Amino acid sequence: MSQNKPARSGGATALGWVLTIGLNVVAPVLTYNALSDRGYADFVALLISGVWPLVDIAVYLAWHRRIDEFAAITLVFLGLTVVVTLVGPHSARLLLVKDSLVTGLFGVVCLASLAASRPLMFYFGRKFATDGTPEGLDRWNGLWQFEGFRRVQRNLTLGWGLGYIAEAAVRVGLSYVLTTGAMVTLNAVLSYGVTGALIAWTVLYARRARARGAAATAAAAAPAAVAG
């Protein structure tokens, strides 16, 4: 029985990834593009496509009987995107940069969370690195007692914050230089490219940190083993 438990946990984690990415990224983009192609106004398409993150929250709540920090943050930034879309003149340039302003604000929130008791990436890690069960959450929360783990979470938060601020600055600057058609394509490339690069860096950095931690633990245990 115990041999099957990791498989179930891994399957639950994978399903969580699929649902989160599908309902928060893929479905909203496809819905927004489909409605825009059919002539819907930008803010109407955005509001309708924003239903999918709400579905993700409902699924998570029904599954785990609680709402997590990632779902709450999704709602906050969905609201910010809607506000940026509705407020001010609906020029093509402002519509192009609205997402950059939101991601830039996310970067600022990441940096600001470094002053909190636990940085933002700690909660994102708990969302994606566990299966959402009480045991998995307790294990993740318990890791905070280790100085190395705390350092990794703060460094990851710093990296994501600086990365998204830089991405937002580049996109806003280029929107005033390139044509609208070029920026539509570049926005998608930069958005997914930067996020993909940050995810890859996070995985690589976390693996190296775990390897260093394991090596340090082994080195510390060696004298005791010799003495024994």
Lowest mean pLDDT among 4-8, 37-41, 64-68, 173-177: 4-8
Contact 82, 43 (CB under 8 A): yes
Cβ count near 10 (within 10 Å): 11
Lowest mean pLDDT among 28-42, 76-90, 94-108, 190-204: 76-90
Q: According to the model, what pLDDT value does residue 157 have?
A: 96
Contact 101, 172 (CB under 8 A): yes
Q: Enter the pTM of the model.
A: 0.66
Q: Write out pLDDT tens, residues 43-76.
A: 677 668 778 877 877 777 777 666 555 556 666 6
Sign of CA dihedral 152, 156, 157, 159: positive
* pLDDT at residue 6 tops 50: no
Q: Write out pLDDT tens, residues 117-128.
A: 999 999 888 877
Q: According to the model, what pLDDT value does residue 51 have?
A: 80
Range 83-112 burial, b when 16+ CB lie within 10 A, else e: ebbeeeeeeeeebbbbbbbbbbbbbebbbe
